Amino acid sequence: MQVRQPTPAVQTLPSPGAIKVACSNCSLRELCLPMGLSPDELARVDAVITTRRKIKRKTPLFRNGERFHALYAIRTGVFKTCVVAEDGRDQVTGFQMAGEIVGLDGIVNDHHTCDAIALEDSEVCVLPFDRIGELSREVGALQHHLHRVMSREIVREHGVMLLLGTMRAEERLAAFLLNLVQRLQARGFSQSELVLRMTRQEIGSYLGLKLETVSRTFSRFAEEGLIEVHQRHVRILEVERLRALLTPAGAA
């Protein structure tokens, strides 16, 4: 996602010349799995995380059915994950960005149960799961982080279930936009401007809506002066009114 802020928090994301491949000098360190580790613990993690993979736009990082052997930490770019039913309908289960971990679905049966597709040219760190498992037996903080990453994903999905189960179209889209800017802000981007890396169709799939409904709801938000939309470029004009959409009647 885009629109870098003048006063950024965590930065130097792209690092084009690419220095050493190591968590210890990765700008996402404090957002990613090795968050809060001591220097020597970090060194041990570095020893395990040796490979990166570049994933081209519209290309899978992994696919449903593939053997699971690693988690992936996103360095740059954005991914979507989606599950498909036997009859072909599919559901986007999430959009992941820098510092987030994908692949947790593969642990339970040693095979991935969803697709992870890059929405733009991206780069991930490969975290071989058995090595991570071994190391986390020795480094307590890492073990706890791993548990937290999985637990966080469970809690996130609870939120999505709430959204899908109880919200109307406007509320869903408002929640979606607010979640997005919040995560972007944590990465040093603007809290009011964003570039969607996904199509209306993909947003709709995530939110349990048809693409036409997403489009219409964007238009309505724009008419009401809540946001400004130019294709995938969105500027949030009135965060508070957008937030208010999520607490319709009496906020407890």
Q: Distance between CA atoms of 45 and 79, rounded to whole angstroms?
A: 24
Q: Distance between CA atoms of 52 and 69, rounded to whole angstroms?
A: 14
Helix (H) or strand (E) holding 62: strand 60-62
What x/- string results for residues 68 through 107 when contact with a second copy is judged by CB under 8 A?
A: ---------------x-xxxxxxx-x----------xxxx
Nearest alpha carbon to residue 35 among 128, 152, 122: 152
Q: Select from 16, 17, 39, 165 the one that contacts a second copy (CB under 8 A).
A: 165
248 counts as binding a second copy under rule CB under 8 A: yes
Tell the burial category of 184 from Cβ atoms under 10 Å away from its Cβ (0-12, 13-18, 19+).
buried
86 binds, among DNA, a second copy, none (CB under 5 to 8 A by kind): a second copy
148 counts as binding a second copy under rule CB under 8 A: yes
78 counts as binding DNA under rule CB under 7 A: no
Helices (H) and strands (E) in the chain, counts: 7, 11
Nearer to a second copy, 99 or 193 (CB): 99
Q: What do you get for the CA distance between the two ends of the chain, in Å?
A: 33
Rounded to a whole number of angstroms, the minimum distance from the CB of residue 152 to a second copy is: 4
Q: Select from 141, 150, 211, 246 the one that contacts DNA (CB under 7 A).
A: 211
CB 221 within 8 A of CB 183: no
> DSSP string of 65-131?
TSBP-EEEEEEES-EEEEEE-TTS-EEEEEEE-TT-EE-GGGTTTSB--SEEEESSSEEEEEEEHHH
Nearer to DNA, 134 or 224 (CB): 224
From the list 33-41, 128-136, 152-160, 230-238, the region that binds DNA by CB under 7 A is 230-238
What x/- string results for residues 206 through 225 when contact with a second copy is judged by CB under 8 A?
A: xxx-----------------
* Contacting positions for DNA (CB under 7 A): 168-170, 196, 199-201, 208-216, 218-219, 229-232
* Contacting positions for a second copy (CB under 8 A): 83, 85-91, 93, 104-108, 113-114, 133, 136-138, 140, 143-144, 146-148, 150-155, 157-162, 164-166, 205-208, 246-252
